[in-house]
């Protein structure tokens, strides 16, 4: 099973995990959030992130989901990437997280693909003709 570490600004990831747990019917195991706050030291966050990734790794790898490419949480997480062991995807949203959880028993590369497709396909414009009357 792929471990999932959600690394975001402040408590965004905690709220995503709560919502995903609601959708899934229970809080999935091997799923942890690490919030990065303005007062945090980057080296301390890196150490904590490294420890959490080790804790989450059941032998199949870890996927780190970050909120914004180029922001501090993602920049720190990118330092942990290891081919076939730890992958990182930026732009986490609820469809991405749910899709990742659904396919986490597949290999790490498949879970990364599912995360990307869930994130992209979960962001769509709803056409005006689907509007419901109030």
pLDDT exceeds cutoff 70 at 134: no
Question: What pTM does this model have?
Answer: 0.94
Determine the structural domain holding residue 31 and report its residue range.
Answer: 3-122
Q: What angle do CA 46, 50, 55 make, to 5 degrees?
A: 145
* CB-CB contact of 45 with 122 (8 Å): no
Averaged pLDDT of the chain: 96
Judge whether 127 lies within some domain. Answer: no
Average pLDDT for residues 24-30, to the nearest whole number? Answer: 97
51-87 residue pLDDT tens: 999 999 999 999 999 999 999 999 999 999 999 999 9
97-117 residue pLDDT tens: 999 999 999 999 999 999 999
Judge whether 112 lies within some domain. Answer: yes
56: domain CATH number is 3.40.50.510
Judge whether 129 lies within some domain. Answer: no
In the chain, how many domains are there?
Answer: 1
Judge whether 58 lies within some domain. Answer: yes
């Amino acid at each position: 099973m792929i471990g999932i570490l959600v690394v975001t600004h402040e408590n965004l990831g905690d709220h995503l995990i709560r919502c995903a747990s609601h959708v899934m019917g229970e809080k999935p195991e091997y799923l942890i959030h690490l919030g990065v706050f303005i007062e945090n030291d980057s080296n301390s966050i890196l150490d904590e992130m490294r420890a959490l990734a080790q804790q989450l790794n059941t032998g199949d790898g870890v996927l780190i989901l970050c909120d914004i490419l180029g922001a501090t949480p993602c920049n720190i997480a990118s330092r942990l990437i290891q081919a076939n062991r730890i992958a990182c995807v930026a732009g986490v949203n609820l469809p991405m997280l749910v899709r990742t959880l659904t396919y986490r028993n597949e290999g790490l590369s498949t879970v990364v693909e599912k995360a990307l497709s869930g994130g992209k396909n979960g962001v769509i414009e709803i056409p005006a003709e689907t509007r419901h009357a109030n």
